[in-house]
Structure 1
Amino acid sequence: MQGLGVALAVPLALANLTTALPAQKHGWAIGVQTTVVSVFAIAMPLGIALLAQYGSWRWAFAATVPVAVLVVVLARRHLIETRAPATTSLDPVGCVLIASGLALLVFACERSSDWGLTSVGTLAPLTAGIALLVAFVLAERRARSPLLDLRPLRGATTSVPLAALALVQCASLALVLYMTLYLQHVLDMGAFRTGLLLLATSVGTIVLSPLVGQLTERGHGGRLVITGMAALGVCLLWLTFEVFDRRIIFLVPALLLFGLAPPLVYPSATTLVADTALGSAKGVGAGLAIQARQVGATLGLALTNMLFTAVEWQKRNSLLKPGDAFTPEEQSALDDALTRERLDTDLLAQLPSASQDHVRGAADEAFATAIEITFLTLGGIILLGALVAVTVQRATIGRSTPRPSA
């Protein structure tokens, strides 16, 4: 139900925003929207950490209900209604194909660490998922009212910023997720201290987003996208060399650099995509931008987690003594034990004290190694994407025609 709500609210909010304002204000408006989202992204984790630490984690869900009610009341009073052409209809075939295909791909990636990459349990859903996504593309090309209009993807003006949105979303989520776990379970920082340190990742968004929107309106959107991807790639490579040293002081500058990437990419790429649609198709452009980020978050994070888990488990078992090694079935129980504050699981409690310390040390080193390999891989992909964008988009995105001033 939450997923359905987000799927409805986020692209339609962006579509209403671009419809309510003239074209020369779109970049600025999307930049301001990104800033507001970033402020909530900073405040919410800290608030949730405090609730979980001093109250109950359940309040993290309940606290959003009054805010949602207030937004609904204000939206009914002030939101400008938009109308699509009467010929528009739902595409149920497309909905089923893309949802099923992505679900099977994510399932295969998640379970591959338990079953192995070459097992039937992994290959069967992986093959079925790819087949369903191919069927989705073929069905959308013939649909009268497609769920995802694929025609804009044929041009680099739309496909490159969409790819940038997907890549940056995937890398950003992976960075925040694994750094949160690293700070809490390897460096033994509490949830609130971890949230304070990760504030560094959001400073750039608050400062830069409105400015990036204005620069996009002046025809610099392509350069901003490429610069943001380059900054993110450099940040990931930087973190690759700093994570294993376990020195927080050197992580802060890297996290600050990371904070520059999303505000450079999200407003500019979203504006470039949204402005490819005209009139009543604004919702299509907004939907494309949101869908690119969702695919990057869903499929990209699943593939990233598959790589991370494989490296972590292989490294951990290579460091353990022969008598301490664990079967794949015991790995999940070990993960659960290592992330608890007290040693209250039979899996570790049955080992001698020296072995318990050795297992924990091996787990920390394996986790750091997995982060290094994951960040190195993502950083290389992001920098390669930036290089491709420079090569392909020099004559399109990089030389966008500036809009006339208001």
Structure 2
Amino acid sequence: MSIVDTAPALMTSRQRLTLILLLTASFTLAVDFSILNVALPVIGAEVGFSLENLQWIATAFALCAAGFTLLFGRVADLFGRRRLFLAGMALLGVASLIGGLATTPALLLTARVAQGLATAAVTPAALSLLTTSFPEGSLRDKALGLNGALMAAGFTTGAILGGLLTDLLSWRWAFFINIPVAAFVLIAAPTVLAESKPERRARLDVPGAVTVTLGLLAIVFGLTTAGERSWSDPRAFGALAVGVVLLGLFWLVEQRVAEPLVPVAILRRGTVAWGNLAGLLAFVTETSLVFLLTLYLQKVLGYTPLATGLSFAVLGIGTVVGGVIAPKVIARVGTKRAIVTAFGVQAAATLPLAFLGTTSAWVLPLLVLTFAGGVANLVAIVGFMVTATSGLPDGEQGLATGLATMSQQVGITMGIPIMSAIVTARAHGDDSPAAVLDGVSTAIFVNAGLCVLTGLLVAAFLRDRRGQLM
């Protein structure tokens, strides 16, 4: 797709401030996804979680972050993006304070639910504020590239920061660190961000909101349960079945209500549908690869959680590089070629990891390959963001960014259970280094295959908004 770029070459001072503010919020929320993972055993011992219930500290957050994203993306369009952004950051600050002070499992889980809801509100609102603050073209591509780079780097930073805070101070600082960030954003945002909402307030599609939110919650719960227990667990299968039924009902509702939450027409646009599929699989493949390599480094090579987190610093640098160069790649070859090429490079960097061995000599190749894969993955993610939000009026940007954010959150949530199930099935309950390595290698083959499949699908089917192949 070729776009005539009429945007000014340089950002204005207000645009720079807007970008700094929104990127600060997005980075902080990305860090929250992973900052508690390495500290879970310590939290369980101090707060009183049993071993089998520890996973709910992460699951409660992921359920709300993924399940409510689409709803809040539309709420931002209807009632004001800045208003929802500020409300979400205020909720994040309060929830983080409660989480840091929690002394019981119920209170800690309440804080994690609130943090998930804050993420579901802030992420699409921030992204739609970003896309409406920068005109379509090179400036928006640059802003989306930086946003994607910092969000991806945030997942890696969270693992490293969580280990450092837990070892040097306390796991409670993984919560407390959000409070000054939220305060800064709440003080600065009203003077920097302009409110954006329609002149006529449309009615919220309540049946659509209920069915899609409950459907997404069921899907995420089912995937999480499958990864932790097995795909044959009745709770996993039942939740997935309920989720599919509810999403089917949502589709029927959207075709009948006067003011749908998601107009069916927008999902028929090639850029929106295939762009979001590419984004979903970009997050599925990279976040699950981090999980697989974490198993490899800890279970096979015997790394500590902190050393494992530090090993992913190279991947984090790669994602930042990818976010910086992505707009230039897109400007040179176009979004479709950028996405297809990026998935090809990511597959080429992922496949050799399936042949990792049992000695530390494999660490250097791992670092080089994860760096290359991280660069490619971010080019694909920025290409997806540009594709999924281009050619739409400002009034639909909240919806488009809500869909894009939902693809991101669900992709992050889906990847680990899918790859975990492959490892578990291959290892047959054996947690010896050899069995774990065999399971990890098989899952990495599947991961690389998904990259290839996604690139082929985008190459074959991604069309521009006029219905032409891009």
Q: Please list, as runs of the form range in 1=range in 2, the aligned pairs for 1:88-237 lying within 5 A after superposition.
A: 88-112=202-226, 117-118=231-232, 120-217=234-331, 220-237=334-351
CA contact (8 A) 1:104 1:129 kept: yes
Q: Which secondary structure does the structure 2 equivalent of 1:60 belong to?
A: helix
Q: Which secondary structure does the structure 2 equivalent of 1:259 belong to?
A: helix
Distance 1:162 1:116, change over 3 A: closer
Q: Deviations over 1:126-180 (max 9, x none)?
A: 3222211211221222233333334233233222221110001011111112222
Distance 1:133 1:80, change over 3 A: same
Q: Deviations over 1:77-99 (max 9, x none)?
A: 21121113424333332233223
Structure 1 length normalisation: TM-score? Answer: 0.78
Partner of 1:372: 441
Number of corresponding residues: 354
Identify which of 12, 34, 44 aligns with 2:125.
Answer: 12
Q: Deviations over 1:229-274 (max 9, x none)?
A: 1122223322111256662122122111211122211212101111
CA contact (8 A) 2:289 2:447 kept: no
Q: Deviations over 1:313-356 (max 9, x none)?
A: x151xxxxxxxxxxxxxxxxxxxxxxxxxxxxxxxxxxxxxxxx
User: Hey, what's the Cα distance between the residues in 1 that align with 2:186 and 2:331?
Assistant: 31
Q: Please list, as runs of the form range in 1=range in 2, the aligned pairs for 1:6-405 lying within 5 A after superposition.
A: 6-24=119-137, 25-38=139-152, 40-112=154-226, 117-118=231-232, 120-217=234-331, 220-242=334-356, 247-312=362-427, 314=428, 316=430, 362-393=431-462
CA contact (8 A) 1:105 1:299 kept: no
Q: Which secondary structure does the structure 1 equivalent of 2:200 belong to?
A: coil
Distance 1:292 1:41, change over 3 A: closer
Partner AA of 1:378 in structure 2: N
Unaligned 5+ segments in structure 2 are 1-113
CA contact (8 A) 1:18 1:282 kept: yes
Residue 282 of structure 1 and its aligned partner are, at CA, apart by 1.6
Residue 115 of structure 1 and its aligned partner are, at CA, apart by 7.0
Q: Which secondary structure does the structure 2 equivalent of 1:189 belong to?
A: coil
Partner AA of 1:162 in structure 2: N
User: Hey, what's the Cα distance between the residues in 1 that align with 2:292 and 2:321?
Assistant: 25
Partner AA of 1:45 in structure 2: A
CA contact (8 A) 2:287 2:412 kept: yes
CA contact (8 A) 2:222 2:239 kept: yes
Residue 392 of structure 1 and its aligned partner are, at CA, apart by 2.4
Unaligned 5+ segments in structure 1 are 317-361, 401-406
Residue 198 of structure 1 and its aligned partner are, at CA, apart by 0.8
Q: Deviations over 1:254-307 (max 9, x none)?
A: 111211122211212101111131132121221221111122222343333333
Rg larger for: 1
Worse-matched range after superposition: 279-288 or 102-111:
102-111
CA contact (8 A) 1:10 1:290 kept: yes
User: Hey, what's the Cα distance between the residues in 2 that align with 1:67 and 1:6?
Assistant: 14
Partner AA of 2:424 in structure 1: T
Residue 309 of structure 1 and its aligned partner are, at CA, apart by 2.8
Distance 1:305 1:286, change over 3 A: same
Residue 364 of structure 1 and its aligned partner are, at CA, apart by 2.0
CA contact (8 A) 1:164 1:229 kept: no
CA RMSD of aligned residues (A): 2.7
Worse-matched range after superposition: 38-47 or 375-384:
38-47
User: Hey, what's the Cα distance between the residues in 2 that align with 1:99 and 1:41?
Assistant: 24
Q: Deviations over 1:107-126 (max 9, x none)?
A: 44444578765565444333
Structure 2 length normalisation: TM-score? Answer: 0.68
Residue 367 of structure 1 and its aligned partner are, at CA, apart by 1.9
Distance 1:310 1:89, change over 3 A: farther
Residue 9 of structure 1 and its aligned partner are, at CA, apart by 0.9
CA contact (8 A) 1:220 1:399 kept: no
CA contact (8 A) 1:166 1:295 kept: yes
